[in-house]
Amino acid sequence: MNRKNGFLLLACVAITLGLMAVMIGGCGDKDGGTQGGVISEVAMALAVDNEDRPIQPTSVFAPDDKVIYCSLKLSGFSPDTKIVAEWIYVKGEQVGIGAMKENTVFQTNVGTPEGDGYTSIPLQRPEGYEEVPWPKGEYKVVFSVDEEEKASVSFTVE
């Protein structure tokens, strides 16, 4: 396994566990509603506050940024709702053996919200790969419930 493939595998595992913990525990204190809930205020950021709201929103990141956050607000979801976040490499720099191809889902996270409020998903390089840069290009994060797209946000690494 080359270094880039190993990086992607470790990133997927680390972020999946992180998203599940954040979405289960960090969505506020109101009772949930129906599965017809709303995902709003989706924003990419360099940092989030202690309530997971973006405090450095941006749509452009550097290849050496250590963490990329996606912050979103959840409203009206029942506690048993599964929200899927797909991180997609749309297109861009094709470097090295095993470079990501266009429109590749490189990370999938599944979480179950409790109540309403903000949550965030950190995308970061796993331990041992901190110096491996993000490939330059266009990316997006797509949020789905019951295989229906509820929201998406695009960002660029340049």
- Predicted confidence at residue 99, as pLDDT, reads 64
CA 115 to CA 79: how far, in whole Å?
7
- 31-71 residue pLDDT tens: 333 457 999 999 999 999 999 999 999 999 999 998 999 99
User: And the tokens for 155?
Assistant: 């960002």
Domain span at 141: 3-157
| CATH number of the domain within which 133 lies | 2.60.40
Q: Does the pLDDT value for residue 6 go beyond 80?
A: no
CA 68 to CA 72: how far, in whole Å?
13
62 compared with 132, residue with greater pLDDT: 62
Q: Which amino acid is at 50?
A: N
Report the number of distinct structural domains present in the chain: 1
Q: How many CB atoms within 10 Å of residue 50?
A: 7
